[in-house]
Amino acid sequence: MEPSVATPPPGRPPAAPPRGKAPTGAVEGSATWSVLDRLGLAFCWALGLLFCAIAVAIVVYLFLQGVKFLKLDQLTTPAATGFSETQTGGFSDALVGTLIVATMGIALALPTGIAIAVWLVEYGRPAALARVTELTIEAIAGIPSIVLALFGTVIFSSTALGFLSRSNEGVVFGRSFFAAAAMLSLVALPLVVASTRQGLESIPRHVREASYAVGKTKAATVRRILLPTARPQVATGMILGLGRIIGDTAIILVLLGATQNFAPVEGAVFPFDYLRGAGTTLTNFVYEASPTGNLNQPQKAYAAAFVLLLMVLGLNAAADLVHRRARKAGTWSH
Amino acid sequence: MEGEFHPEYGPKWSDQRVERLLGALVVFVVGLLLAMIAVVVARAWPSFAHNGLAWFGAGGDVDDQLNAISLSGQNGLDYVWTFHAWPLIWSTILITGGAVVCGLVSALFVSVFIVEFAPTWMSNVLQPVVRFLASVPSVIYGLLGVLVLVPFIGNHLVTEPEKASVAGVISLTGYSLLAAVIVLTIMIAPLMVSIFSDGLRAVKPGWVEGSLALGVNRWRTTWKIAVRAARPAIVAGTVLAVARAIGESVMLAMISGSVGFPPNPADGLIFIYEPSRPLAPTIVKNVDQLSSKPANATLFAIAAVLLFSAALCSLAGWIARRAMRKYGAA
């Protein structure tokens, strides 16, 4: 039996000694540098510490305000109209709205994003279309979400799509969970594509060749071998996408409605009456409850922002966990 | 072999069909983008057509013009189209420019620090910090800006004589260029840091080692060799940050001041305390007017300008990244 020749996987240079982190003692200290260079290094330290300080300040400040103003019943009571902050209820509809929008948005973005990434990496013919697609994804990532939102008003106000929102005597309202989630999925799409693509590209060619050699088709290879291998990256992309979806405000403001409560469409079957109706999310609630919004209840804005921040922190932790696990399991790109 | 049937050979998931299916999806997404461009431009056209190049110019109070436009659509009178967006454009330029310059400098130093000079524990702290700062929703930045930074600027930084000196023109309350630039810098710098540090890590070790072997110290080596070699990444990150800054709407709607006023550098240094309103927040603030036909066209015209600038940025970033790939980085 011939010993298999170990070739480094394509796309990875042969292992180079790590730079900058030379063995201890060999690292040149800054003592011999000129004053200007040392000042520069000090500036580096100052900025690094400033970044840390800003992050800590945001977390600690919102945490303190959240603990002070967040009441548990705010999470279970919907917003109401009233004259003082005690009468206006909580933001349960916003909380549920965020969950709905996140689920629907990612449910749209994930399959689409994976499909596009698979096509780009595994098929990618004709080459011109591949290049155009790359550029398109890049462009979608760069489009301001407010422009996506305006585009959404045009699409979802068309009579053909009236069944996705409230319509009244032929006039389509165009604001619904469907509309918002569809546009939000475009916000998450580039992140899913980029991450999945990175995962697929890091799988060495010989894995594919082994799969073809045992007679699997290309499609089967993608489905059974490549996507399961790239799962950590797909998960990372999904988490990043979720973070962007729950953090987006502009699309919600334009496409979900200027209300702080669910506004189900009468006469529709259960989940669809809510999904076709207008609603709100935490970001929208924070915006409206801030001094510049219509409600002006800063205390509740802090409480809702605190809940939102907890969600973001949770997603960040999840991304870290996925990353660490993948590294432990030893996939190709970690 | 005739009798054996493997489901993966079945006609349902035949290779060609999968390729065609995926291809169709890709074409659909590309088509969606083209449709978006077409729709936005088509909706925007009346506004551009009625104003010509004066759309981009100065003249009159832009808020009054917007009001007149939306009112004319509601009352069934003759539509009013006159719109001179210069105050909004000027505000966009000032805020984006300020934030990108501050962000570029700080992101460059921080990414050099993370990649080259920070002790391991420090870079292990900084990396999650940068990721966290990049993932905080813009509305939270806006809320903190409006409740913490804006009152601080209004009460402690702007002095009474300064307020009095421009009292007839504009009132300085703390909603200001300064607040907007600070918060926007915090939002876009992390984005730049992550792209810059990827670029710096991909610099060929041999180049750096060559410089070190010649006796150049680590600081100068980093700036003369590594940072220069990572230029495509720096361009790509900056361009991406510009696109993000131009498109930022909600945070700026909250703290930029929401007045269609062009801050005037001729006022002296206090112009950084003057309120304004960039293009994107103008859409957010006037979203209720979408049902009024001329207002709709005007808002889409603003969107078209944003879309065009964002597209330019994406194109530049894409070109820079292709150049990067050629040199083996990223």
Of A120, A145, A219, which is closest to B13 when you measure between CB atoms?
A: A219
**Cα A282 to Cα A66: distance, rounded to the nearest angstrom:** 14
The pLDDT value recorded for residue A180 is 94
The pLDDT value recorded for residue A6 is 44
In a domain, B168, yes or no: yes
- Tokens 């890709």 identify what position? B26
Angle at B269 between CA B264 and CA B270, to 5 degrees: 70
Domain with B245, as residue range(s), is: 87-287+307-326
State which fold the A92-281 domain adopts.
MetI-like fold (1.10.3720)
A227: tokens are 């996507």
Set of chain A residues whose Cβ sits within 8 Å of the Cβ of B19: 119, 123, 125, 218-219
Set of chain A residues whose Cβ sits within 8 Å of the Cβ of B137: 246-249, 283, 308, 312
- State the nearest Cα–Cα gap between A77 and chain B, in angstroms: 22
CB within 8 Å: A19 and B22 = no
CB within 8 Å: B218 and A28 = yes
Helix axes A127-142, B293-326, angle to 10 degrees: 120
In a domain, B292, yes or no: no
The three-state secondary structure class of B249 is coil
CB within 8 Å: A292 and B253 = yes
Of B39, B135, B220, which is closest to A316 when you measure between CB atoms?
A: B135
The pLDDT value recorded for residue B291 is 84
Residues 95-154 in A contacting B (C-alpha not used; CB under 8 Å)? 112, 115-116, 118-120, 123, 125, 129, 132-148, 150-151, 153-154
CB within 8 Å: A142 and B243 = yes
The pLDDT value recorded for residue B326 is 64
CB within 8 Å: B144 and A62 = yes
Set of chain B residues whose Cβ sits within 8 Å of the Cβ of A47: 106, 109-110, 113
The 8-class DSSP code of residue B130 comes to H
- Tokens 């702080």 identify what position? A260
- The whole-number mean pLDDT for each consecutive block of 10 residues of chain B, a chain of 330 residues, reads 48 76 95 95 94 90 90 80 93 95 96 93 93 94 94 90 81 90 96 92 90 91 92 90 92 89 84 92 90 91 94 85 63
Q: Which residues pair with A167 in a beta bridge?
A: A172
Closest among A139, A180, A144 to A283, alpha carbons compared: A180
Closest among B310, B195, B197 to B244, alpha carbons compared: B310
| Minimum Cα–Cα distance from A129: chain B residue | B27
**Cα B122 to Cα A45: distance, rounded to the nearest angstrom:** 10
In a domain, B66, yes or no: no
ipTM given for this complex: 0.89
The pLDDT value recorded for residue A332 is 65
A13: tokens are 């240079």
In a domain, B116, yes or no: yes
The single-letter code of the amino acid at A261 is N
A161: tokens are 């799509």
> pTM to 2 decimals?
0.89
Angle at B121 between CA B196 and CA B205, to 5 degrees: 45
Closest among A118, A143, A104, A85 to A299, alpha carbons compared: A85
Closest among B20, B18, B1, B26 to A224, alpha carbons compared: B18
* Residue B10 exposure: Cα atoms within 13 Å on the Cβ side: 6
Closest among A274, A241, A200 to A108, alpha carbons compared: A241
Q: Along the 334 residues of chain A, how does pLDDT read in single tens digits?
A: 344 444 444 444 444 445 554 444 456 777 788 899 999 999 999 999 999 999 999 999 999 999 999 888 888 888 877 777 777 778 889 999 999 999 999 999 999 999 999 999 999 889 999 999 998 998 898 899 999 999 999 999 888 888 888 777 777 888 899 999 999 999 999 999 999 999 999 999 999 999 999 988 888 899 999 999 999 999 999 999 999 999 999 999 999 877 788 888 877 788 888 888 888 999 999 999 888 888 888 888 999 999 999 999 999 999 999 988 888 876 665 5
Q: How far is CA A111 from CA A156, A209, A275, B130, B139, in A?
A: 22, 25, 21, 29, 28
Angle at B102 between CA A284 and CA A41, to 5 degrees: 125
CB within 8 Å: A247 and B137 = yes
Among left, alpha and beta (phi > 0; psi -120 to 50; other), residue B323 is alpha
**What digits encode the pLDDT tens for the residues B135-144?**
999 999 999 9
CB within 8 Å: A309 and B299 = no
**Cα B147 to Cα A62: distance, rounded to the nearest angstrom:** 11
B176: tokens are 């200001």
Set of chain B residues whose Cβ sits within 8 Å of the Cβ of A320: 128
Q: Quote the distance between the C-alpha of residue A60 and its chain's center.
A: 23
- State the nearest Cα–Cα gap between B205 and chain A, in angstroms: 6
The pLDDT value recorded for residue A14 is 46
Interacting residues of A20 by C-beta distance below 8 A, sequence separation 6+ = B115, B116, B218
In a domain, B44, yes or no: no
The pLDDT value recorded for residue B55 is 93
Question: What is the total count of domains within chain B?
Answer: 1
CB within 8 Å: A139 and B116 = no
Instruction: Look up the CATH number of the domain holding residue B155.
Output: 1.10.3720.10
CB within 8 Å: B113 and A45 = yes
Count of beta carbons in the 10 Å neighbourhood of residue A37: 17
| Minimum Cα–Cα distance from B328: chain A residue | A11
Best mutation site among A39, A145, A146 for testing chain B: the one with the most B CBs within 10 Å? A146
CB within 8 Å: B311 and A139 = yes
CB within 8 Å: B205 and A216 = no
The pLDDT value recorded for residue A317 is 94
In a domain, B180, yes or no: yes
In a domain, B213, yes or no: yes
In a domain, B255, yes or no: yes
Q: Which residues pair with A263 in a beta bridge?
A: A278
Count of beta carbons in the 10 Å neighbourhood of residue B164: 10
Among left, alpha and beta (phi > 0; psi -120 to 50; other), residue A330 is left
H or E stretch at A167: strand A167-168
Residues 254-313 in A contacting B (C-alpha not used; CB under 8 Å)? 254, 258, 283, 286-287, 290-292, 298, 301-302, 305, 308-309, 312-313
Q: Flag whether residue A247 sits within 8 Å of chain B, measured between CB atoms.
A: yes
H or E stretch at B228: helix B227-229
Handedness of CA B136, B139, B144, B145 (dihedral sign): positive
Q: How far is CA A182 from CA A8, A108, A239, A263, in A?
A: 42, 7, 17, 19
